Amino acid sequence: MPEQLQLGGLSDVDAKVRMVCFSPAAADLDRAVLVILSVHRGAANAIPSAEIAERVHLSPGEASRRLIAGAVESLVNFHRIPVGGSRVKPYGYFLIESAADLKHALAPLTGELHALLRRLRALAGKQTVAQLYGQLMLGLDEESESRTGSRDRERSAA
């Protein structure tokens, strides 16, 4: 049995999936994509965005690929669902369930980040990039704190 990955302090991906599927805050497309992804667990079981688009009755093409990518981004960033993407066979999206899945999902993102940092450094210089990085990290911390605070307020109101 694969090692269960603890993401965001939660080890039960199924509970997170159920919570989003029944959340009024989740968009219909986000829920539909999540239902499909719920059976595509692990990098070995990735599903291409074109197939997801077909299953949710979107017209084939770049516009639907972008809609699916947007739904995945929302699932990861807003709902904290651990969705990874594979850029090697099998291509597509999958639910991250193990440390190996996470490593697989992070590899292309890390490469993108390094490429962007090299480009920024070439354009703006080392000091400017370091300053920008610090400002971006503070912004991410503030986003995380505000998201946690709003969840705490929702729980206390219930």
What pLDDT is recorded for position 136? 86
If pLDDT is split at 50, 70 and 90, which confidence band does 90 have? very high
Residue 131 falls inside a structural domain: no
Tell me the CATH number at 99: 1.10.10
- Could you give the percent of the chain with pLDDT greater than 70? 85
> Is residue 139 one of the residues assigned to a domain?
no
Residue 56: per-residue pLDDT: 96
Is 138 inside any structural domain?
Answer: no
Give 9-69 as a DSSP string.
TB--HHHHHHHHHT-TTS-HHHHHHHHHHTT-BSGGG-B-HHHHHHHTTPPSSHHHHHHHH
Q: What is the mean pLDDT of the chain?
A: 86
Distance of alpha carbon 100 from alpha carbon 77, whole angstroms: 21
Quick one: pLDDT at residue 149? 61
**Whole-prediction pTM value?**
0.78
Inside any domain, residue 97: yes
8 falls within a domain: no
Domains identified in the chain, total number? 1
Name the band, by pLDDT with cuts 50, 70 and 90, for residue 144: confident
Question: Is 137 domain-assigned?
Answer: no
**Which residues form the domain of 78?**
13-106
pLDDT at 145: 77
Mean pLDDT of 53-82: 95
pLDDT for 102 beyond 90: yes
Domain presence at residue 150:
no
The first and second tokens of residue 6, run together, are 């603890």
The 10s digit of each residue's pLDDT in 17-44 is 999 999 988 999 999 999 999 999 999 9
Q: In this structure, is residue 41 part of a structural domain?
A: yes
